[in-house]
Amino acid sequence: MSSIFDNLFLGDLVDAKNLKFLKQNQVSHILIVAEEFEPFYPKSFVYMHIKAEDSESFELIKYFDMMADFINFSSKKGGCVLVHCAMGVSRSPTAIIAFLMKHQKWSFLKAKKFVEEKRNIISPNNFLNQLKEYENILKERRHPWKNETSPKIKPLCLKKQSKAYK
């Protein structure tokens, strides 16, 4: 298991099964980004389960907001989150990168590099294009007026009234 922040871990199936380790690290919430298995300890942790395939054709982007908000909400409530998939290489790092992009307002490249520094085996290759698209979506949400296809709105300038018209 790799620590991304004090309250955010990136791991794999082995980490998700290790109850002793989860409790030692005060994990309270678990985000599963894999279709292969179900929650191991549903009575002990709060789960979100995204049944995602590790395939370029799987549209994980549809779940980026939901996963990022789950991580953010859990950590803001004082919880500690484990995000995992089967190997902790592709799907779960993608979820954490999406979280960093949305809630830390980091660029795709900054978020990816940060996660790589924390866990050098990541390879979200199947989802790189979706993460780049998500970066553009987030930019549009933050600055809709900067979109080149948006209509250009000119500010209305009011001249001061001269004393003669008062």
Which positions are catalytic? Answer: 85
For 75-129, give the secondary structure using H, E and C: HHCCCCEEEECCCCCCHHHHHHHHHHHHHCCCCHHHHHHHHHHHCCCCCCHHHHH
117 backbone dihedrals φ, ψ, rounded to 5°: -65, -30
Query: Which residues, listed in sequence order, are joined to residue 47 by a DSSP beta bridge?
Result: 30
Residues with Cβ < 8 Å from 107, sequence gap 6 or more?
Answer: 101, 135
